[in-house]
């Protein structure tokens, strides 16, 4: 990991122009190419709603994509170019496990607030003052998957099939340990090359091990190819699968449902995910904002899947939180508004949109922004962990939350 102690860039200053920039630093090409566009939908949805409400301190906000290609070697120069070409950078979002370890130190040393989607465990123990996580560590998701397999479905024989990218591999070690703690049998552990087009060998090894369930995450076309091969070699029958929250994605659903059949997927698939409030006013505003992007972003599958995709829900919340912090701080300078991120999440008046928050702040009230992802409570490492739920897909691609995962289940497999 590249770590620097001194600033490598000039710290962004408060913009005197008519616009501010939020950079979506994530893969737009490569095996994890579906991640960047999902985050961009959330960014456009949030910023367009903010702009319609008058913008931030007189400035409109725009979103800018920065393609890391899912590779640290490409991510570092991409971030350097971002700083060289952007004078009004107010916030960075994205930052998957593919590139976070390489670029977070650079972003932090430049005193830019960043909301990351990485679950890498190293961020559980290293404190970067400008880096915030709105999702739990990957090890927590690993516990959630094993808890679903053990307590909800009572499976005994478990196989793992994870992609060879950094982000997917971080699940494997914690999952192996959790399986052992749950007194289940790990019968197979296959690594899927995301650049491969066939997975005959991996599918054959898993089938030979006779698992009750497969825990999996393989992004891009790999998952669809692997599950299609598995079904073919198994005489047209599927094996139940439990996916990470990354499998709650329009692109993942589109590819996998086409490969194994939408009805089959609806019957054999479960995933862990963070709880999303789908009934309150925050969700109504979020849904309106997301669907306003449908014609612009293009429908990459079931567009409604964005409404529960972690990258869409929690980055939407993060952008609103940052914008309200800027208003409360009366500054768009990250080194100034950073101190207000917790303040606008823990005040007395609960608000669910940027417009509501601004109105309350103008009255002199302290606010607590609660978006579709629920309340935000950062710990000492700037992490905000929510409650896990169990998700399924319907035969039409609708995501359904079927149950919350009790905390005692997670504790039992740690």
Q: Are residues 131 and 157 in the same domain?
A: no
Q: Is the residue at 308 inside a domain?
A: yes
- Mean pLDDT across 86-115: 96
Q: Is the residue at 111 inside a domain?
A: yes
pTM of this structure: 0.81
Quote the CA–CA distance of 352 and 321 in Å, as a whole number: 10
Quote the CA–CA distance of 60 and 53 in Å, as a whole number: 10
Q: Are residues 261 and 350 in the same domain?
A: no
C-alpha 379: how far from chain center: 18
Q: Is the residue at 287 inside a domain?
A: yes
- Are 226 and 241 in contact by the 8 Å Cβ rule? The answer is no
Quote the CA–CA distance of 171 and 121 in Å, as a whole number: 10
Q: Are residues 124 and 244 in the same domain?
A: no
Q: Is the residue at 380 inside a domain?
A: no
CATH code where residue 297 lies? 3.40.50.2300
Flag the least confident range among 117-121, 151-155, 347-351: 117-121
Closest residue by Cα to residue 137 from 391, 406, 377, 382: 382
Q: Are residues 270 and 287 in the same domain?
A: no
Q: Are residues 126 and 197 in the same domain?
A: no
Q: Are residues 51 and 85 in the same domain?
A: yes
Q: Is the pLDDT of residue 7 over 70?
A: no
- Mean pLDDT across 119-138: 86
Q: Is the residue at 85 inside a domain?
A: yes
Quote the CA–CA distance of 370 and 352 in Å, as a whole number: 5
Please write the tens of the pLDDT for every residue from 277-297: 888 899 999 999 999 988 775
Q: Are residues 251 and 212 in the same domain?
A: yes
CA dihedral for 279, 280, 281, 285, sign (positive or negative) = negative
**pLDDT for res 215:** 98
Quote the CA–CA distance of 33 and 53 in Å, as a whole number: 32
Quote the CA–CA distance of 100 and 167 in Å, as a whole number: 10
Count of the separate structural domains present in the chain: 2
Q: Are residues 201 and 301 in the same domain?
A: no
Q: Is the residue at 228 inside a domain?
A: yes
Please write the tens of the pLDDT for every residue from 309-338: 888 999 999 999 999 999 999 999 999 999
What letter would DSSP give residue 77? H
Q: Are residues 151 and 260 in the same domain?
A: yes
Largest Cα–Cα separation, the chain: 66
Q: Are residues 50 and 159 in the same domain?
A: no
What's the domain range around 359? 19-137+282-369
Q: Which residue has the higher pLDDT, 16 or 208?
A: 208
Q: Is the residue at 302 inside a domain?
A: yes
Q: Is the residue at 8 inside a domain?
A: no
Q: Are residues 269 and 311 in the same domain?
A: no
* DSSP track, 306-351: GGT-HHHHHHHHHHHHHHHHHHHHT---HHHHGGGTTTTBSSSEEE
**pLDDT for res 83:** 97
Please write the tens of the pLDDT for every residue from 27-81: 999 888 889 999 999 999 999 999 999 999 999 999 999 999 999 999 999 999 9
Q: Are residues 152 and 193 in the same domain?
A: yes
Q: What angle do CA 75, 81, 84 make, to 5 degrees?
A: 145
Q: Is 329 left (phi over 0), alpha (psi -120 to 50) or beta?
A: alpha
């Amino acid at each position: 990991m590249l770590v620097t102690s001194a600033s490598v860039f000039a710290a962004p200053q408060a913009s005197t122009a008519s616009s501010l920039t939020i950079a979506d630093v994530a893969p737009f090409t490569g095996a994890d190419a579906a991640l960047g566009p999902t985050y961009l939908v959330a960014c456009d949805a949030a910023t367009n709603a903010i702009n319609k409400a008058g913008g931030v301190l007189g400035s409109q906000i725009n979103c800018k994509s920065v393609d890391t290609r899912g590779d640290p070697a490409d991510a570092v120069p991409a971030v350097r170019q971002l700083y060289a070409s952007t004078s009004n950078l107010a916030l960075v979002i994205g930052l998957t496990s593919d590139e976070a370890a390489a670029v977070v130190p650079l972003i932090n040393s430049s005193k830019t607030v960043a909301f990351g989607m990485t679950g890498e465990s190293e961020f559980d123990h290293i404190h970067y003052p400008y880096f915030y996580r709105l999702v739990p560590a990957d090890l927590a998701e690993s516990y959630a998957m094993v808890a679903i397999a053990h307590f909800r479905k009572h499976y005994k024989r478990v196989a793992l099939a994870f992609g060879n990218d950094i982000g997917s591999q971080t699940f494997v070690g914690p999952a192996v340990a959790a399986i052992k703690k749950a007194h289940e049998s790990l019968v197979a552990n296959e690594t899927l090359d995301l650049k491969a087009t066939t997975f005959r060998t991996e599918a054959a090894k898993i089938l030979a091990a006779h698992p009750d369930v497969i825990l999996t995450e393989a992004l891009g076309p790999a998952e669809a190819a692997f599950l299609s091969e598995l079904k073919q070699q198994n005489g047209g029958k599927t094996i139940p699968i439990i996916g990470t929250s990354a499998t709650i994605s329009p692109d993942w659903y589109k590819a996998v449902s086409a490969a194994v059949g939408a009805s089959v997927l609806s019957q054999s698939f479960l995933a862990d995910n963070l709880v999303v409030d789908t009934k309150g006013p925050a969700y109504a505003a979020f849904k309106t904002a997301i669907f306003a992007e449908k014609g612009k972003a293009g429908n990459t599958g079931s567009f409604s899947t964005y409404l529960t995709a972690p990258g869409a829900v929690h980055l939407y919340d993060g952008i609103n939180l940052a914008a309200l912090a800027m208003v409360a701080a009366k500054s768009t300078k990250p080194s100034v508004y950073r101190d207000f991120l917790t303040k606008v999440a823990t005040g007395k008046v609960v608000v669910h949109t940027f417009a509501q928050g601004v109105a309350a702040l103008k009255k002199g009230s302290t606010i607590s922004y609660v978006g579709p992802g629920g309340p935000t409570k950062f710990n000492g490492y700037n992490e905000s962990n929510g409650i896990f739920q169990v998700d399924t897909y319907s035969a039409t691609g609708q995501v359904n939350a079927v149950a919350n995962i009790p905390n005692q289940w997670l504790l039992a497999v740690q």
